[in-house]
């Protein structure tokens, strides 16, 4: 690859962590490329309203905030490419990032590939994906106006997206494996105070059924073993999250769940390679944390290049 196509910093992932890193690295006069496989913004694209991010006294829609991040990065001169990364070659002073569409050479690499939602892995889930099964209320909620929908999960994402769905749906039934929620107390209280939200405890979905679209779910009570069928027009799944790490397995040190191990300055097990955001071990999976990670990774990359 020619010298002209060698970057100072290649950032894998265009979410909050990756875009924050790109802004700091390009402003440090480092030639910076962001590689994203789907759409710039990452998980905030799937968030209805962001109300706990400093600097926004009024809530801002996740997609709107993502657009602001991208515009800011572009204004400073960050380059963007859409590609899916397949492998990494990280030995030596120049790192090679190999994608389906091309190969990219860089002095440093920041991995901010984030993660994606876990699936139920039950009959009907794949069949009805896009036809009643969704993992993004802000993307698909408008398709279910004045209908009855089901949200699966008990964490912050399930409550946040469930509350968003109450704006346009007739009702939201939350199905949770346990008898209490894991979500933050403020989200729990909002959910319990919302008349449109109902709860089915100690239960899991065993099957999703329908015709051209979702019509019902088969539920199993985990305490009694009772199996029942419940009508629903849509199923929104929020049962956890896993890192997008296929291209780094066997290359970087990962924890048992597949997150990249880093020190406090975002250094990975290989010098010149950094990780930030949801893909990193011990990430809080909060927007502000992801931005902070990205800034830290960019500053670490700058120091690595300057001291090299």
Same domain, 201 and 245: no
Task: Dump the DSSP string for 9-60.
Answer: EEEE--BHHHHHHHHHHHHTT--EEEEESS-TBGGGGG-SEE-SSTT-SS-E
Identify the pLDDT of residue 241: 85
Same domain, 206 and 136: yes
Angstrom CA distances, 207 to 61, 123, 124, 127, 212, stand at: 33, 5, 6, 11, 16
Percent of the chain whose pLDDT exceeds 70? 98
The better pLDDT of the pair 92, 207 is held by 207
pLDDT tops 60 at residue 2? no
Question: Which of 211, 237, 263 is the last residue in one of the domains?
Answer: 237
State how many domains the chain has: 2
Question: Which pLDDT tens digit goes with each residue over 144-186?
Answer: 999 999 999 999 989 999 999 999 999 999 999 999 999 999 9
Identify the pLDDT of residue 117: 85
Q: Which long-range contacts (CB under 8 A, 24 or more apart) does 251-257 make?
A: 251/87, 251/88, 251/90, 252/88, 252/90, 252/111, 254/281, 255/281, 257/281
Identify the pLDDT of residue 174: 98
Identify the pLDDT of residue 4: 46
Question: Which pLDDT tens digit goes with each residue over 55-110?
Answer: 999 989 889 999 999 999 999 999 999 999 999 999 989 999 999 999 999 999 99
Percent of the chain whose pLDDT exceeds 90? 87
Identify the pLDDT of residue 185: 96
Same domain, 62 and 198: no
Domain CATH for 99? 3.50.50.60
Question: Which of 237, 264, 288 is the last residue in one of the domains?
Answer: 237
pLDDT tops 60 at residue 288? yes
pLDDT tops 70 at residue 127? yes
Identify the pLDDT of residue 295: 98
Same domain, 163 and 130: yes
Question: Which pLDDT tens digit goes with each residue over 179-204?
Answer: 999 999 999 999 999 999 999 999 99
Same domain, 89 and 231: no
pLDDT tops 90 at residue 139? no
Identify the pLDDT of residue 6: 93
Same domain, 164 and 269: no
Same domain, 130 and 142: yes
Identify the pLDDT of residue 52: 85
Question: Which of 214, 237, 260 is the last residue in one of the domains?
Answer: 237
Question: Which pLDDT tens digit goes with each residue over 229-261?
Answer: 999 999 999 998 899 999 999 999 999 999 999
The better pLDDT of the pair 135, 308 is held by 135
pLDDT tops 70 at residue 3? no
In degrees and rounded to multiples of 5, residue 239 shows phi and psi of -120, 30
When pLDDT is averaged across residues 44-54 and rounded to a whole number, the result is 82
Same domain, 260 and 186: no
- For residue 277, the SS3 value is helix
Pairing label, strands 273-275, 115-117: unpaired
Same domain, 112 and 172: no
Identify the pLDDT of residue 1: 38
Burial class of residue 146 (count of CB atoms within 10 Å of its CB; 0-12, 13-18, 19+): exposed
The domain of 59 spans 3-116+241-307
Handedness of CA 116, 117, 122, 128 (dihedral sign): negative
pLDDT tops 70 at residue 17? yes
Q: Identify each DSSP E strand in 156-282 by its residue range.
A: 171-175, 197-200, 203-210, 214-221, 227-231, 234-237, 241-243, 273-275
Same domain, 251 and 199: no
Same domain, 58 and 192: no
Catalytic residues: 136, 139-140
The better pLDDT of the pair 88, 284 is held by 88
Same domain, 33 and 82: yes
């Amino acid at each position: 690859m020619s010298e002209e196509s060698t970057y100072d910093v290649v950032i894998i992932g265009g979410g909050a962590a990756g875009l924050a890193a790109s802004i700091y690295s390009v402003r440090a006069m480092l030639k910076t490329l962001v590689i994203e496989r789907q759409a710039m913004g990452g998980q905030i694209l799937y968030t209805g309203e962001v109300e706990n991010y400093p600097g926004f006294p009024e809530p801002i829609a996740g997609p709107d905030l993502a657009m602001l991040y991208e515009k800011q990065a572009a204004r400073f001169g960050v380059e963007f490419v859409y590609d899916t990364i397949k492998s990494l070659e990280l030995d030596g002073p120049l790192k090679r990032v190999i994608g389906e569409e091309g190969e990219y050479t860089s002095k440093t690499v920041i991995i901010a590939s984030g993660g994606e939602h876990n699936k139920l892995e039950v009959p009907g889930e794949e069949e009805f994906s896009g036809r009643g099964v969704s993992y993004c209320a802000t993307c698909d909620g408008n398709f279910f106006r004045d209908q009855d929908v089901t949200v699966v999960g008990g964490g912050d994402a399930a409550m946040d997206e469930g509350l968003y769905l109450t704006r346009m749906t007739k009702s939201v039934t939350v199905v949770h494996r346990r008898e209490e929620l894991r979500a933050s107390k403020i989200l729990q209280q909002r959910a319990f105070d919302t008349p449109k939200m109902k709860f089915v405890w100690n239960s899991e979905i065993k099957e999703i059924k329908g015709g051209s679209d979702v019509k019902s779910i088969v539920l199993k009570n985990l305490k009694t073993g009772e199996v029942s069928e419940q009508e629903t027009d849509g199923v929104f799944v929020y049962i956890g999250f896993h890192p997008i790490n296929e291209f780094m397995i066997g290359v970087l040190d990962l924890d048992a769940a597949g997150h990249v191990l880093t020190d406090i300055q975002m250094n990975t097990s290989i010098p010149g390679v950094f990780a930030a955001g949801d893909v990193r071990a011990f990430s809080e999976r909060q927007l502000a944390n992801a931005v902070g990670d990205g800034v830290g990774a960019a500053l670490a990359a700058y120091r690595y290049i300057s001291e090299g």
